[in-house]
């Protein structure tokens, strides 16, 4: 990337709010929680499998933290990073990387996300402005 564009990318990154450290810590916490909970499958939506070389997991949402009123009953992870999923009124599911295309189960949403990601690591959610900063800086520096 040319120097000028790189600076532009870094400027955009700097405008974003959550720090790289917070994002990384969030990812670590999500993985630890998933691992601690391994084997505890009280929900029909729970799963744990390797799909296309990546570990996808679904487990009952803790009720604390991210999932306030109206939140989904299950939390989904791709290689330990939480994927934001949502259940529709008719019982179907979507995720933030496939938001306009309902599928029948959280596992199907996780698989659709792996397909969509084409090997790319997921960034911890809340996505949007929260997580972009480091990766943009990294990508800009690498180019």
Partner 1 sequence: MTVRKNQASLTAGEKRRFVAALLELKRSGRYDAFVSTHNDFIVSDTDHGPRTGHRSPSFLPWHRRFLLEFERALQSVDASVALPYWDWTTDSSVRSSLWAPDFLGGSGRSRDGRVTDGPFAASTGNWPIAVRVDERTYLRRALGAGGLRLPTRADVESVLSMPTYDMPPWNSGSDGFRNHLEGWRGVNLHNRVHVWVGGHMATGASPNDPVFWLHHAYIDKLWSEWQRRHPGSGYLPATGTPDVVDLDETMRPWHDTTPAALLDHTPHYTFDA
Binding of partner 1 by 35 (CB under 8 A) = no
- Taking the C-alpha atoms of residue 132 and residue 20, their distance in angstroms, rounded to an integer, is 8
Binding of partner 1 by 28 (CB under 8 A) = no
Find the binder of partner 1 among 19, 28, 62, 120 (CB under 8 A).
120
64/69 with CB nearer partner 1: 69
Binding of partner 1 by 108 (CB under 8 A) = no
Please enumerate in sequence order all residues whose Cβ is within 8 A of that of 87, keeping only pairs 6 or more positions apart, or say none. 72, 73, 93
58/124 with CB nearer partner 1: 124
CA distances, 71 to each of 1, 2, 17, 35, 64 (Å):
40, 43, 24, 22, 11
> x/- contact string, 64-103, with partner 1 (CB under 8 A)?
----xxxx------------x-xxxxx-----xxxxxxx-
Please enumerate in sequence order all residues whose Cβ is within 8 A of that of 26, keeping only pairs 6 or more positions apart, or say none. 124
The torsion defined by the Cα of 81, 46, 71 and 101, in degrees rounded to 10, comes to 80
Least Cβ distance, residue 34 to partner 1 (angstroms): 18
- Taking the C-alpha atoms of residue 31 and residue 79, their distance in angstroms, rounded to an integer, is 8
Least Cβ distance, residue 17 to partner 1 (angstroms): 9
Q: Which residues bind partner 1 (CB under 8 A)?
A: 1-2, 4-6, 8-9, 11-13, 15-16, 68-71, 84, 86-90, 96-102, 116-118, 120-123, 125-129, 131-132, 135-136, 139-140
């Amino acid at each position: 990337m040319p120097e000028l564009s790189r600076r532009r990318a870094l400027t955009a990154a700097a405008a974003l709010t959550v720090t790289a450290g917070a994002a990384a810590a969030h990812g670590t916490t999500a993985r630890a929680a998933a691992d601690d909970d391994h084997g505890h499958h009280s929900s029909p939506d729970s799963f744990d499998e390797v799909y296309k070389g990546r570990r996808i997991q679904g487990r009952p949402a803790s009720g604390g933290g991210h999932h306030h009123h109206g939140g989904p009953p299950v939390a989904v992870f791709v290689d330990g990073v939480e994927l934001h999923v949502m259940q529709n009124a008719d019982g179907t599911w979507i995720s933030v990387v496939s938001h306009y295309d309902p599928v029948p189960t959280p596992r199907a949403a996780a698989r659709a996300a792996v397909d969509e990601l084409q090997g790319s690591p997921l960034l911890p959610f809340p996505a949007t402005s929260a997580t972009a900063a480091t990766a943009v800086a990294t990508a800009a520096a690498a180019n």
